[in-house]
């Protein structure tokens, strides 16, 4: 693993939460040291970022009403209401509210 850190965004995904819960259980049962769990989470952050960037080719478009947006610490956050998504296969999905968090793919100071 390189010296650069990855964003921890995907830890709140279903797979990230499952991993975190499992690591917590292993630490509580004294079957794993917290330092190893932190290394596993850092590896998860790197791996999921790389896999999503390299393997996922699906596209979608969406329309909705922008409720709130903010830019802080190089991270954009958008809160959108009454959102209609149109998937690659032309299927449409509706959501009352959506939160989008967008980070630069390169950290500040990276080439």
pLDDT tens readout for residues 18-43 = 999 999 999 999 999 999 999 999 99
| CA–CA gap between residue 97 and residue 62 (Å, rounded) | 12
pLDDT, tens digit (0-9, with 9 covering 90-100), for 47-67: 998 998 899 988 899 999 999
Fold category of 9-55 in CATH = Helix Hairpins (1.10.287)
- Average pLDDT on 70-83 reads 94
Give the DSSP letter string of 75-87: EEEEEEEEEEEEE
What is the distance between the alpha carbons of residues 49 and 23, in angstroms, rounded to a whole number?
20
The CATH number corresponding to 60-103 among 1.10.10.10, 3.10.20.740, 3.40.50.150, 2.30.18.10 equals 2.30.18.10
Find the mean pLDDT for residues 75-101: 94
Radius of gyration of the chain (CA): 17
* SS3 label, residue 103: strand
């Amino acid at each position: 693993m390189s010296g650069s850190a990855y964003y921890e965004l995907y830890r709140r995904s279903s797979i990230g939460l499952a991993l975190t819960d499992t690591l917590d259980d292993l630490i509580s049962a004294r079957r794993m040291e917290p330092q190893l769990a932190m290394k596993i989470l850092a590896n998860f952050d790197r791996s999921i970022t790389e896999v999503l960037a390299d393997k996922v080719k699906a596209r979608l478009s969406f329309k909705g009403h922008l409720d709130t947006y903010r830019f802080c610490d190089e991270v954009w956050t958008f809160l959108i209401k009454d959102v209609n998504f149109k998937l690659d296969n032309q299927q449409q999905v509706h959501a009352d509210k959506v939160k989008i968090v967008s980070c630069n793919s390169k950290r500040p100071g990276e080439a």
